[in-house]
Amino acid sequence: MTMLSMGGLGLAAVPLRARAGSVPKIGILFAGVARRSPTLPGFYERLRELGRVPDQSTQIVLASADGDYARLAPLARELVASRPDVMLCASTPAVIAGMQATRTIPIVMVAVGDPIQQQFATSFAHPDRNVTGPTLLNTALVWKELEALKDLLPKAVTVAAVSNPANPQNGRVLREFEAAASALALQVLPVLAATPEELEAGLKSITRSRPDALMVLPDPFLKAARDRIIDFANRSALPSFFTDAKDVAAGGLLAYGVDVRQEYRRAAEYVDRILRGAKPADLPIQQPSHYELTINAATARRLRLTIPVLLQVRADRIFE
Amino acid sequence: MDASSPAPLSGVTAHPGPQGLQGDGPLRAAAPRQNLFTKYMVATTLVVCLLLAATNGTHLYLSTMRSVAQIEALQRSEASATAVSIGHAIEEIVDEMRWVSLPTAAEGPGELEARRLDFVKLLRQVPAIAEISWYGIDGTQRLRVSRVAIDHMNPGTQARSQPFPFESAVGKPYYGPVHFRGGSEPYMNIAVRLPSGAVVVVELNLNFIGDLVQAVKIGNAGVAFVTDARGMLIAHPDATLVLRRTNLAPTREFTDSLAADGPPKRERGLRHVFVDGLQGQPVLASRAKVDPLGWSVFVELPREEVLAPLYRAIYADLGVLLAALLVSVLAGFLLARRMVRPIRALQVGAAAIGAGQLDHRIDVRTGDEIEALASDFNLMTQRLRDSYATLEQKVAQRTAEVSDQRAVAERADRAKTRFLAAASHDLRQPMHALNLYLGALSMQQLTEPGRRVLVNVRQCAAAMSSLLEALLDISRLDADAMDLKVHDFRLADLLARLEVEFLPQARAKGLRLRVAKSSAWVRSDEAVVERIMRNLVTNAIRHSQSGTVLVGCRHVGQLLRLAVYDQGPGIPDDQRELIFEEFYQLANPERDRTKGLGLGLSIVKRLASLLDASVALKSVVGRGTMFGLDLARAAPPTGNARSANRAEPEPTSIRDALVVVVDDDGMVLKATRELLVQWGCHVLACTSAPEALAALASCPQPPNLLICDYRLPGADDGMAVVEKIREEFNLPIPALIVTGDVLPEQLDQLQALDVTVLHKPVSDGMLRQCVERMLGA
């Protein structure tokens, strides 16, 4: 597969063997770094399973903001100008940019926290706009995550919350996080970072503040910077909490959330149905039915932490 | 059929009887309006195809009903199995709930911790459980473990509203109504009251039922889905239908709980089997109830798929029908040909026989009634041919007999004619001589009695001469010896001759003969006309006892009628046709031959028809008779045509004229010579041409007249003699040929030679007149 990401501001059209017009065109607006995304391949994988081979029976135009959300709006406009049959918008900022660029081209959202709150749709059963797709519905999960944090670190007092202010959904999650933290008698140290520089500054502030734990809120930019954060946390002997099991596999301590790669697979099914003629307004928004708790036992050992029995029972996967 | 009969049945008119039986129209076979061959073929094909179609149709209907029933049974069993497995899954969850609610070893606060661990384990074990709660005997929530919310361990917290009827019976699970989280995802609460009085409640995500129905495979497009008791869709292979909260109540019966599981209510016939499916298309639906829940499992197959085998069978049957059609057409063709061929052969044969080809044989070897019919036909034809042959043989025989008889008759006729000719000729010579002798005798001085005898003898001779003349005419007519020489001539000469000839006879009988003068010319054969007139005048004189016989001519239209009137007894009306027949005589039963032979009028009739002229007859009995001959008029020639026509010889006195007479008959020669000498002529009588030439050689002057018999011994006939003497003297010496022969070609020659011809016997008076005229005296 020749997948060309959007370098710079330019939109590189994907050359196709098939004739234009007869081949459906899928535009992808990616807020994070598409080429490094561990979840986007799930989309292609499912597409292929549904008989849509990228660059052969399906044309794909990929626009990646590489974590710079300011680029999302112009990318969305360029993407719309290329007249795709359907657009995949990954993450809340991308959906917002996509919806600003078009009200007619169907948009399949993915990795979106709360489409109703963000007014992407009027209801789960009948979205009634040009946006539909699976939703993570993970805002409330921070409660469960903080509960696990408390189980794992009963003496913890402060927890740093790394959040991207450029992501509106992060604001909501942060508020929910603060509410849950106060319920669990924890103090929150918000660390806001929308750029790598801000992130470095934030990490420095964490070093100065020395909280008991570090929580990374779900955001494409922060996802792209995941390795840096994990490295920082582990070197700083900070227990790190994520929402994606992949982050735990990469060295994070614990994650509770939806299998995002699975969500990308479900998004591919939405795209397929829309290309077969379904209207997005008629496709209900799927809620996740399964959340998984993952723990990295090696990281825990390095941090000299003992995983309590309850968490061992609760954990779906424990990485060694 | 006659006109008064009622209108015939259509079948009768459509197949008219044989043409030969109808009054009009030629006797021939009627062309059939419909082809027997086509009829047979169409009938055979129709029968085969109808039978096939009926059989196939029945078979199709029955097999379709059977196939639908089979599919329905399969669907029902699938639905039942799915319902059972759903029921099992729910029961298993209930079992898990009971198991996880068993008493724990720990007491007090530790009990809740232990139970929390058990609940977490249950969540791990059963992914469909979203939340599990524990309620104490007092109805307060003691413990809640959720996948989303943080765990609750707060004894004493009163549940504001319990998601179950708290007083439900122990052991019997309570199934709450299906609710849709976020208005979309189906969930259900299950509560179990434990023997301790505590209640364990789970909130169950019903997505897993979707996995169960997805496993059900019916055909290609068949689906299984589940609704709750209200008809809300809670599980479908296409999850979006569930998430959209589809309600099936409008299309399915949900109030009647008994309808499920029982045999499907449907009337007979395919139309009533199908209901509207979820997408609106007609489907074959089966339903089973999920036992403890009141849910319904539906298994549906689109009608197209249910009926696909039917369509395939229809296509196959159509193919078979088509093949059968072809085969039956072929069979019909062969059969019809087999049937029709001999009939055609019969038809053709009958037509041939009808057309008269009696040697035609119908060759049919079918070994059945048609062959029998054909052989009957052949037998009939054989008989016909035999009778034809017999008939023809008889006809030929009769024809031969008739022609034989005719040949005999013709031979007899020719013999008669020859006899008559010969007799006439042979009688003519002595008759001629007799006349001449009587003429010579009358010149002698006789005694009175002698003179009377002479008169009587002359009368006898005249009668005999007349009889002979008539016989001669008849014989000439019979011999077809008359040849017409039609030319224009004037009647005056002919009338004059008649007067000269018949005046003495009329006077002798005490009659007056008047011949009217005429300057008219006619176009006809003068000789034939003269002979007719002589017959008519002879007749008139013969039948008149007194009065006048008038001969004259008058115009009748464009024609000129030469008429002879007498004042004789007249002819009765009924005899007018008879008198023209041969040998028929009025008033002569005694057959007095002085009254002629009765040939006169028959000769007249035959001569007139030869001339193409008609003979008119008017007669009043007791008053008289008129016979008329109608001739074509001719214009008199201009100038002195007559003198140019005929050179008048120099007037020579009959006395002292030198007459050469050549006749081989010594008697005739002597009589002629005697008569001429009596008339004062110098006569040179010879029997042949050389003798005449020899005698003339010593003669100082050329002869004034030649009288020659036509038939002479030796090479020369009378013509040759005349020519030789004329050559000798290089003068057109007048010549008179006296002949007994009647052959037309000879007459032609004679006329070409400008000679006068007299037919024997010639009376002395006629000869005198003729000689005088020729000598120009």
Sheet containing strand B295-302, edge to edge, reads B233-235, B223-227, B295-302, B282-290, B274-276
B554 secondary structure, DSSP code: E
Report yes or no: A117 at the B interface, CB cutoff 8 Å: no
Q: What are A159-209's pLDDT values in tens digits?
A: 999 999 999 999 999 999 999 999 999 999 999 999 999 999 999 999 999
Rounded mean pLDDT of chain A? Answer: 90
Are the beta carbons of B286 and B264 closer than 8 angstroms?
yes
Q: What are A237-269's pLDDT values in tens digits?
A: 999 999 999 999 999 999 999 999 999 999 999
The verdict on a CB contact (< 8 Å) between A124 and B185 is yes
Are the beta carbons of B189 and B176 closer than 8 angstroms?
yes
Q: Which residue matches tokens 């198991």?
A: B99
For residue B609, what pLDDT is reported?
A: 85
Report yes or no: A313 at the B interface, CB cutoff 8 Å: yes
Which of chain A's residues have a Cβ under 8 Å away from the Cβ of B182?
Answer: 116, 123-124, 137, 287
For residue B78, pLDDT over 50 is answered with yes
Helix ranges (H only) for B443-484 are: 448-478
In which element (H, E) is residue B666 found? helix B666-678
For residue B698, what pLDDT is reported?
A: 79
Q: Give the CA angle between residues B771, B774, B776 to the nearest 5°.
A: 110
The verdict on a CB contact (< 8 Å) between A286 and B181 is no
| CA–CA gap between residue B662 and residue B686 (Å, rounded) | 5
For residue B6, what pLDDT is reported?
A: 42
For residue A145, pLDDT over 90 is answered with yes
Cis peptide before B761 (omega within 30 of 0): yes
pLDDT above 70 covers a percentage of chain B that reads 84
Distance of CA B312 to the CA centre of its chain: 56
B234 vs B723, residue with greater confidence: B234
Binned at pLDDT 50, 70 and 90, residue B439 comes out as: confident
| Residues constituting chain B | 777
Nearest chain B residue to A146, by CA: B150
Q: What are A5-25's pLDDT values in tens digits?
A: 443 333 444 444 444 457 899
| CA–CA gap between residue B521 and residue B645 (Å, rounded) | 15
For residue B427, what pLDDT is reported?
A: 76
Dihedral of CA B219/B222/B225/B229: which sign? negative
Binned at pLDDT 50, 70 and 90, residue B280 comes out as: confident
For residue A48, what pLDDT is reported?
A: 94
For residue B258, pLDDT over 90 is answered with no
Rounded mean pLDDT of chain B? Answer: 79
In angstroms, the separation between the Cα of residue B321 and the nearest Cα of chain A is 41
Binned at pLDDT 50, 70 and 90, residue B479 comes out as: low
| CA–CA gap between residue A150 and residue A187 (Å, rounded) | 12
For residue B16, pLDDT over 60 is answered with no
- Kindly give, in sequence order, each residue whose CB lies less than 8 Å from that of residue B336, ignoring residues fewer than 6 positions away: B36, B37, B38, B39, B40, B41, B44
Mapped onto helix, strand or coil, the DSSP state of residue B472 is helix
- B433 φ/ψ angles, rounded to the nearest 5 degrees: -65, -40
| CA–CA gap between residue A43 and residue A134 (Å, rounded) | 12
Q: Give the CA angle between residues A36, A41, A45 to the nearest 5°.
A: 170
* DSSP string covering chain A: -------TT--PPPP-SSPBTTB-EEEEEESS-GGG-SSHHHHHHHHHHTT--BTTTBEEEEEE-TT-GGGHHHHHHHHHHT--SEEEEESHHHHHHHHHH-SSS-EEEES-S-TTTTTS-S-SS---SSEE------TTHHHHHHHHHHHH-TT--EEEEEE-TT-HHHHHHHHHHHHHHHHTT-EEEEEE-SSHHHHHHHHHHHHHH--SEEEE-S-HHHHHTHHHHHHHHHHTT--EEESSHHHHHTT-SEEEE--HHHHHHHHHHHHHHHHTT--GGGSPPPPP---EEEEEHHHHHHTT----HHHHHH-SEEE-
- In this predicted structure, which of A3-17, A42-56, B191-205, B365-379 has the lowest mean pLDDT? A3-17
For residue A248, what pLDDT is reported?
A: 95
The verdict on a CB contact (< 8 Å) between A144 and B147 is yes
Which stretches of chain B sit within 8 Å of chain A by CB?
116-117, 120-121, 123-124, 127, 130, 146-151, 180-185, 205, 207, 239-240, 243-245
Mapped onto helix, strand or coil, the DSSP state of residue B326 is helix
| Residues constituting chain A | 320
For residue B711, what pLDDT is reported?
A: 78
The verdict on a CB contact (< 8 Å) between B243 and A313 is no
Instruction: Select the residue of A140, A147, A284 nearest B243 (Cβ to Cβ).
Output: A284
What mean pLDDT comes out for the span B507-521?
87
Q: What is the dihedral of CA B598, B603, B604, B605, to 10 degrees?
A: 100
What mean pLDDT comes out for the span B172-198?
89
- In this predicted structure, which of A4-13, B348-357, B688-697, B710-719 has the lowest mean pLDDT? A4-13
For residue B745, what pLDDT is reported?
A: 60
Instruction: Select the residue of B117, B147, B182 nearest A310 (Cβ to Cβ).
Output: B117
With 0-12 / 13-18 / 19 or more C-beta atoms within 10 angstroms meaning exposed / middle / buried, residue A77 is middle
Best B100, B144, B151, B185 residue to mutate vs chain A (most A CBs within 10 Å): B185
For residue A61, pLDDT over 70 is answered with yes
Q: What token pair was written down for B150?
A: 């943080």
Q: What token pair was written down for A75?
A: 């990318």
A37 vs B584, residue with greater confidence: A37
| CA–CA gap between residue B725 and residue B703 (Å, rounded) | 9
Are the beta carbons of B755 and B749 closer than 8 angstroms?
no
For residue A234, what pLDDT is reported?
A: 93
For residue B541, what pLDDT is reported?
A: 87
C-alpha atoms less than 13 angstroms from C-alpha of B360 in its C-beta half-sphere: 18
B263 secondary structure, DSSP code: P
Binned at pLDDT 50, 70 and 90, residue B741 comes out as: low
Best B244, B246, B278 residue to mutate vs chain A (most A CBs within 10 Å): B244
B756 vs B99, residue with greater confidence: B99
The CA distances from residue B497 to B421, B502, B531, B537, B634, in Å, are 27, 9, 11, 12, 20
B139 secondary structure, DSSP code: S
Which of chain A's residues have a Cβ under 8 Å away from the Cβ of B123?
Answer: 314
Q: What token pair was written down for B119?
A: 């609940």
In angstroms, the separation between the Cα of residue B152 and the nearest Cα of chain A is 11
Which of chain B's residues have a Cβ under 8 Å away from the Cβ of A286?
Answer: 239, 243
Q: The complex's ipTM?
A: 0.89
| CA–CA gap between residue B239 and residue B186 (Å, rounded) | 11
Look at residues B412, B317, B380, B434 and name the one whose alpha carbon lies nearest to residue B672: B434
For residue B468, what pLDDT is reported?
A: 75
Q: What token pair was written down for B254?
A: 């949900």
A204 vs B543, residue with greater confidence: A204
For residue B743, what pLDDT is reported?
A: 56
The verdict on a CB contact (< 8 Å) between B243 and A314 is no
Of the segments A140-154, B205-219, B620-634, B760-774, which one has the largest average pLDDT value?
A140-154
- In this predicted structure, which of B177-181, B256-260, B496-500 has the lowest mean pLDDT? B256-260
Report yes or no: A143 at the B interface, CB cutoff 8 Å: yes
For residue B457, what pLDDT is reported?
A: 83
Report yes or no: A289 at the B interface, CB cutoff 8 Å: yes
Q: What is the dihedral of CA A135, A136, A140, A142, to 10 degrees?
A: -160
| CA–CA gap between residue B771 and residue B645 (Å, rounded) | 19
| CA–CA gap between residue B338 and residue B332 (Å, rounded) | 10
Instruction: Select the residue of B120, B146, B180 nearest A313 (Cβ to Cβ).
Output: B120
What mean pLDDT comes out for the span B343-369?
81
Binned at pLDDT 50, 70 and 90, residue B568 comes out as: confident
